[in-house]
Chains A and B, each alone.
Chain A
Amino acid sequence: MVRCRTCGGTYEPILPDGTQYFHACSPLSVAEIRQGLQDNTIQLSRIDRLRLRTARDADRTNPPAEGEPSQEERALQLMVVERPNKRDENIRTGLDARDKGSRIKAEGAGVEDVVDE
């Protein structure tokens, strides 16, 4: 079992049937996007920034009813924000692989062994 140092996910690199498992970090969850925006550790794309500003404006002029999600919440749910320094263990092929670098698409922050607890 290993832990991805980028996303904290844990997984077995070799599955019980002997096949290789190729981990790729998930995009950020809504909770992680919120935290990242608060901490200023992520940068949204131009289109996502526009969506978020429009949603916040809509919430100000037309606040959500009790128990209903805000427009901001809905906008965040629709965003696909890739994790900074994401790891992707899938192998590179074709022109992508010509530089003789790592065989995997992105090293991210690497992995560490997880000791069984």
Chain B
Amino acid sequence: MPVDVSTLNLPIGPPAHAVYVAGDESLRFSVLNAAAGVTVRIAGRFMHRDGRVEPFVERLVPATDRTVSVKTIPLAEGWLLNAQASVSAGTPQIGQTFAILSLVRGRTGAFEELATLAAGPISAVQRIAWPGSVVGSPLEGAGALRTITGATPAAGAEVSETVPTGARWQLVSFRATFAASAVVSNRNLFLQLDDGTTVLEQVIQFNAVTASGGANAYWMAGFGPVTVNFGNGQMQGIGTSAWLAAGHRIRTLTIGIDAADTWTNVRYKVREFLEGA
């Protein structure tokens, strides 16, 4: 039932932007996160029916596996004046922690979402606030720059790195060290991207590695499609838009591979975006 503010005898009326809540609604913060050691601070102010303004502060330690972590704050009858989310502990990059602020009906069990108030990336310096912030997407912006040390495969096996559940990557560069066994045959080194099943892109280092030889192989976004050698290194381009969804893989393919060949020092740089899981 609508509330006639003039009958409440308030010292001052609620501001025009304030949202009236009837007492069976809650404020809900949903957080996607990939960084370690993060605590999200949730704060705001609430105006009770009697005109009393009460600040609130809650904290949420989100999961680090890109799944959604939720904090629900039950609201009394009155007006929500403002709310915000920021990072109070940890140092996530922009793009590693994303918060959604919404109004839901219900206090426990099943909730029905009524309104999305704000959504966006948060960090120690970047916060989202209602009123003021837009409803953004976790796929906007520059993403989080990550340097990842991949698994070292057993001898005779290839490198394979999988985009984790809840992430979207843009591959910036990839490097690994290849060492050929003494078995006589030339090896050619490919980097290939697949969607978990089907190979989508293959890029070769044109210069062969001979028996007992080795190479530091680099593949880099924006680099030309011609192998450049320097010392023991080989460099090759991978285009400019190597986008990979969760479950996609970055793999090597070694033509002429022997059971005693090895890949080591697997390092790559990606821009990471949160899809959420």
Of B6-14, B132-140, B148-156, B171-179, the one touching chain A: B148-156
Q: Is B234 on the interface with A (CB-CB < 8 A)?
A: no
Check B165–A18 contact: CB distance below 8 A.
no
Complex Cα–Cα for A23 and B160 (A): 9
Contact, CB under 8 Å: A16 / B149: yes
Q: Given the complex, which residues of A lie within 8 Å of B198, measured CB to CB?
A: 80
Pick the residue among B154, B159, B164, B194 that contacts A8 (CB under 8 A).
B154
Q: Is the CB of B255 within 8 A of A90?
A: no
Q: Is the CB of B254 within 8 A of A29?
A: yes
Question: With an 8 A cutoff between CB atoms, is A57 at the interface?
Answer: no
Q: Which of A26, A31, A32 contacts B160 (CB 8 A)?
A: A26
Shortest Cβ gap from B30 to chain A (Å): 15
Chain B proximity of A10: nearest CB distance (Å): 5
Which residues 175-227 of B sit at the A interface, judged by CB distance below 8 A? 194, 197-199
Question: Is there contact, CB below 8 Å, between B194 and A18?
Answer: no
**Size class of the contact patch on chain A:** 35 or more
Q: B244-272 vs A: 1/0 string, CB under 8 Å?
A: 00110101011111110100000000000
Cβ–Cβ contact A26 & B157, under 8 A:
yes
Contact for B251 among A19, A26, A78, A90, CB less than 8 A: A26
Q: How far is the CA of A91 from the CA of B261 in the complex (A)?
A: 31
Indicate if the CB atoms of B258 and A31 lie closer than 8 Å. Answer: yes
Which of B36, B153, B249, B257 is in CB contact (< 8 Å) with A30? B257
By a CB distance below 8 angstroms, the chain B residues around A23 are 151
A-B pairs with beta carbons under 8 A, tally: 105
Which of A8, A26, A27, A92 counts the most B-chain CB atoms under 10 A from its CB?
Answer: A26
| A64 nearest CB across to chain B (Å) | 13
Determine whether the beta carbon of B162 is less than 8 Å from that of A10. Answer: no
- Are A90 and B162 in contact, with the CB atoms below 8 A? yes
Q: Across the interface, which residues of B come within 8 angstroms of A25, CB to CB?
A: 160
Contacting pair B160 A80 (CB below 8 A): no
Segment 8-51 of A: residues with Cβ below 8 Å from B: 8-12, 14-32, 35
B259: chain A residues at CB < 8 Å are: 31-32, 35
- Is B77 on the interface with A (CB-CB < 8 A)? no
Whether the Cβ atoms of A22 and B165 lie closer than 8 Å is: yes
CB distance from A20 to the nearest CB of B (A): 6
Complex CA gap A25/B150 in Å reads 12
CB <8 Å contact, A12 and B149:
yes
Contact between B164 and A9, CB atoms less than 8 A apart: no
State whether the Cβ of B277 lies closer than 8 Å to any Cβ in chain A.
yes
Interfacial chain A residues near B127, Cβ < 8 Å: none
Q: Quick one: given A7-B154, A10-B151, are A17 and B162 in contact (CB under 8 Å)? A: no
Write the nearest CB–CB distance from A17 to chain B, whole angstroms.
7
Once the chains are docked, how many angstroms separate the CA of A80 from the CA of B198?
A: 8
Quick check: is A77 within 8 A (CB to CB) of the other chain?
Answer: yes
